[in-house]
Amino acid sequence: MGARRKARECALQMLFAADVAKVNKSNLTRDFWNELSDFDADEATRDFSNNLALGTLRNLKSIDNKIRTRAEHWRIERMAIVDRNILRLAVNEFLYEDTPHTVVINEALEIARRFSTYEATQFINGILDAIKHDLEKEKKTTSKNDEEPKVSEKTNASSL
């Protein structure tokens, strides 16, 4: 298993602890690495994992809103704890990391296969794929608007 996948798994475990035990966010990473982790990670792996977990918690409201738009008939609070945190972790990576979206989805599915159920992988794949398409559509719209020439009032007035 690659170091980045292991980092994602550790981030998931931190999110699970924060979700279930309401662990203090300021101590979350320290407590995880000192007490809960059975993985001896190098500094780069720890940093990546910590950034994913803390970034997800920092942006939880916007991440959950993205998930809500695509989780039809599912309230986030009613989702399995592991599944909702896999989704949160992946959406955080979609929005705030440079990882290609397809890689994020594949990693989320591999982690779901290890920590959740077969049905969960289908559920997670469907939601993440829909969010990925939404983000790509937003990006196309944004880049298209950026390419359109802007007509200033001065130019407009002088052409009259």
- Tell me the pLDDT tens digit for each residue of 124-138: 999 999 999 999 998
Residue bearing tokens 């398409």: 133
- Looking at 1.10.940.10, 1.10.150.130, 3.40.50.10140, 3.20.20.140, the CATH number of the domain 3-141 comes to 1.10.940.10
Q: Domain boundaries in the chain?
A: 3-141
Please report, rounded to a whole number, the percentage of residues in the chain having pLDDT higher than 70.
Answer: 86
Instruction: Answer yes or no: is pLDDT of 148 > 70.
Output: no
pLDDT at 40: 76
Q: Vertex 82, ends 1 and 39: CA angle to 5°?
A: 35
**38 residue type, one letter:** D
Instruction: Answer yes or no: is pLDDT of 159 > 60.
Output: no
Q: Of 124, 110, 77, 134, give the one whose Cα is nearest residue 8.
A: 110
Q: How confident is the prediction for the chain on average, in pLDDT?
A: 88
pLDDT at 22: 79
pTM across the whole model = 0.85
pLDDT at 2: 85
**16 residue type, one letter:** F
> What's the average model confidence in pLDDT over 38-59?
90
| pLDDT tens figures, 67-111 | 999 998 899 999 999 999 999 999 999 999 999 999 999 999 999
